[in-house]
Structure 1
């Protein structure tokens, strides 16, 4: 029986993606591990590998299709002895996709609807199974079909495929074991009255009507822009933010940085002020460990290592790649790693594990001439440091004398569910002390 190739979940939160490019064509023979397609998520373009061997019988979803739901059949794989006729004889099933725009308008000025696909995909494999705790078990369609025929419980089988996916070889030698009886469903609790919905803005049609007769260009939102809009709107509405502000004198740091960069010229390393900020934050999270935490719904997870996220602006949005164990890495290591992450972020080549996680973030707009600003906490982080530019200002020294210093303004946005005012003040003080006494960070 032909096997469906399903739209993969390339990250834990992925629900749909864009099938950017097919790397195979109908009739090609593929083996486990061969690259099949490039899939665009809301954050990156990733390569999708085959988990079973066979021949590509039919491609069901054309490249360029947007909004392809996870677990939608995108192609059909034929095993030995099967042909394309077996695919055509299978019951039809409509893939859930948004067809790519053709660029040709219909009579109403909108994009012309794409014709419905005429190719019928193969008969579906058994539904994707779930573990006892409700989490999804990743298994190839062929593995699910074999498991169903043999009466195997996929929850008891360890997968050897990419990202732990269960493949054909894992189930062929397995023997059936009795499945645990399902517990009777608990009696439904009395439904609590629904909370009033948050007020929504005017609809797209209502906004367009306001500007009827005015010239404008409609910019379609891509997956990244939609995700940023949804998550930051939710963050601003649900996270109880408060803000702490400090000025930091940078003269000692700038002098120390200049001396280090002269010594590092032979190694091709040039430290930026941002590298020092990353290190200062990482060490401060170790000095104030209660603040090195994340919000987890009904509990707080206090982290051991300092994993610091840094916002990187890219065309159409931003990434927050995470520098893990930043507290124990040297300044030169942090600098090299940050440059690599930023470059791959702009090329949308980061893997999910490189931009997920962390307990605290940094957003630096100083290089754009911004003196100060307030950033939105990126959940589940407990805080984010908004960094402005260093500006020459008159300050009063410890001896009471007026002098000129390079001053950088920072604002720390904090999730009050995780960090209270005094704790946040301690964390920000530790960051300031690290930056104003940079040699301490090397001790």
Structure 2
């Protein structure tokens, strides 16, 4: 009977009446369908309710601005969300196709972190996206919680206002509480800094928008990996007994078991030998992928297609009938490990004492950098152009300024020159957003600065209108705060163009990866002595432009580099600001 039911369902031939009469068999079928669902549908990327303000715990979806099937690019607004403060736009940082909207417009009180939609990559069949378990709302709203009976509310009788870990950057999912500036019993007013929090970008101050008394700190200094939305403290109103505050009980998710049931079972138990892989030539791509995943010999399955051809349904039926599980790939030894020839298992061979490896955990910033640079390099068509400039006059001018008591660096001249070149060549001063080239009105230069946590790019705004010494003092101040993790969000996010200078490390030439949505980055090498055609030595500096070939043409890139070369080789013009030129003309 079970065999008949499974085969009938595979071919879509059961009536609702028959299924009602065989409830106990349909339960078995449901478990089997969970086991094989990943092959029938496309695995979707989850879009969850974001935290759009520091105090937001839930929100209302006012209106979806994208519909199912629409192509989405980084920076697109998916929907409008009403937070506890205002109606804000939810911009995605991913790209793909919006496959399924799970929470419709006008939906209210959606908790932060709840699943609201699914995306798939371009080219995938968005109509066949794999849906969460439709039999339980807990899988869709993954943040539904229940109070653990063993951990009820404790403490006093005064209910407190919850302070939760805020989202201080668009990509922040968790953070580290560095230091609390308030202690229990302190009065708190709107705008007060409660604590410093290290995000995936920098150390930022958490300012409260509420007033009252800080009653209890639940997560103290140096608490790491605190997820956005986690409870970190409690406040009470003025006049209330803060020492008698009630601490909410710890919560646990009720969806964990449901998620375990709904996920495809993968056999991860140790096995005595490597998995036998068969020949899978001659099968269709869909059949071959399933056979390879389960390490099945296709010759053992009877095909139901024309001339006995093996179909996808035949393989799925065979898997369900034999209760098979996915086979893990053959293990590949890591450094310091040796595979056993007899069993195929891997045995860890410890290195000699004193020569062991040290694992250094990645900081949130380095993980974010790795993700963004990988996306940039794989999705943006990088093109490159290089120019060499004679910087003898620039070095001489810098030396003269130093004698006059004005200390500036070669990099300060480069920032000014790049900003002026961008204004003269506006086609290079652009962003690529939503498959459109957006020209930038100001020359805001992002300067790569190395910190212990990774690279960060503080911004010199309107650099073309600033004096060289003004640029110098501003970049020193920004770089100093960047190394301490004290930059504000607007001081390192944005910018129209980036400069990465490794000349001080004696790197003569290199190429850099574009920081989207910017379309260009200039890699500066060190000045090096060469012998000119006249037999005299001169200092040459190499600058390599990496540019997005979708937005910037070869001719525009060449014009920019030629303009930059002229400015660097005639540095006296860089000492003039727009205002200085006007005064000179009037005289």
Structures share a fold, TM > 0.5? yes
Q: For 1:23 and 1:203, how far apart are their aligned partners in 2?
A: 50
**Residue of structure 1 in register with 2:226 after alignment:** 68
Aligned pair 1:430/2:430, yes or no? no
Q: CA deviation at 1:359?
A: 1.3
CA contact (8 A) 2:171 2:200 kept: no
Q: For 1:8 and 1:207, how far apart are their aligned partners in 2?
A: 40
Deviations 1:381-425 (A, max 9, x none): 1111111111110122xxxx3432111111111111221211111
**Residue of structure 2 in register with 1:23 after alignment:** 181
**Residue of structure 1 in register with 2:551 after alignment:** 418
Deviations 1:298-356 (A, max 9, x none): 32221111001111112231211110000111111111111111111112111111111
**Residue of structure 1 in register with 2:413 after alignment:** 276
CA contact (8 A) 2:185 2:242 kept: no
Q: CA deviation at 1:245?
A: 0.9
Higher relative contact order (CA 8 A, sep 6+): 1
Aligned pair 1:213/2:356, yes or no? no
Aligned pair 1:222/2:360, yes or no? no
- Identify the match of residue 2 of structure 1 among 148, 160, 171: 160
CA contact (8 A) 1:57 1:87 kept: no
SS at match of 1:37: strand
**Cα distance 1:209–1:360, how it changes in 2: closer, same or farther (>3 A)?**
farther
- Identify the match of residue 40 of structure 1 among 198, 209, 216: 198
Q: For 2:220 and 2:336, how far apart are their aligned partners in 1?
A: 32
**Residue of structure 1 in register with 2:522 after alignment:** 385
Aligned pair 1:403/2:544, yes or no? no
24-33 or 429-438: which moved more?
24-33
Q: CA deviation at 1:9?
A: 2.1
Q: For 2:552 and 2:441, how far apart are their aligned partners in 1?
A: 16
**Residue of structure 1 in register with 2:449 after alignment:** 312
Q: CA deviation at 1:85?
A: 5.3
CA contact (8 A) 1:58 1:87 kept: no
CA contact (8 A) 1:278 1:326 kept: yes
**Residue of structure 2 in register with 1:342 after alignment:** 479
CA contact (8 A) 1:2 1:82 kept: no
Q: CA deviation at 1:371?
A: 0.7
**Cα distance 1:402–1:333, how it changes in 2: closer, same or farther (>3 A)?**
same
CA contact (8 A) 1:387 1:409 kept: yes
Q: CA deviation at 1:2?
A: 2.2
**Cα distance 1:204–1:436, how it changes in 2: closer, same or farther (>3 A)?**
farther
CA contact (8 A) 2:169 2:201 kept: no
**Cα distance 1:419–1:204, how it changes in 2: closer, same or farther (>3 A)?**
farther
Q: CA deviation at 1:436?
A: 0.7
**Unaligned stretches of 5+ residues in structure 2:** 1-158, 254-329, 339-347, 582-587
**Residue of structure 1 in register with 2:509 after alignment:** 372
Q: For 2:186 and 2:573, how far apart are their aligned partners in 1?
A: 60
Q: CA deviation at 1:378?
A: 1.2
CA RMSD of aligned residues (A): 2.4
Listed as ranges, the matches of 1:76-225 within 5 Å are 76-79=234-237, 80-81=239-240, 87-88=246-247, 90=248, 92-93=250-251, 206=334, 209=337, 212-214=349-351, 215-225=356-366
CA contact (8 A) 1:17 1:42 kept: yes
**Residue of structure 2 in register with 1:131 after alignment:** none
**Unaligned stretches of 5+ residues in structure 1:** 96-201
CA contact (8 A) 1:310 1:361 kept: yes
Q: For 2:478 and 2:556, how far apart are their aligned partners in 1?
A: 31
Q: CA deviation at 1:49?
A: 2.4
Deviations 1:125-170 (A, max 9, x none): xxxxxxxxxxxxxxxxxxxxxxxxxxxxxxxxxxxxxxxxxxxxxx
Q: For 2:400 and 2:520, how far apart are their aligned partners in 1?
A: 32
**Residue of structure 2 in register with 1:53 after alignment:** 211
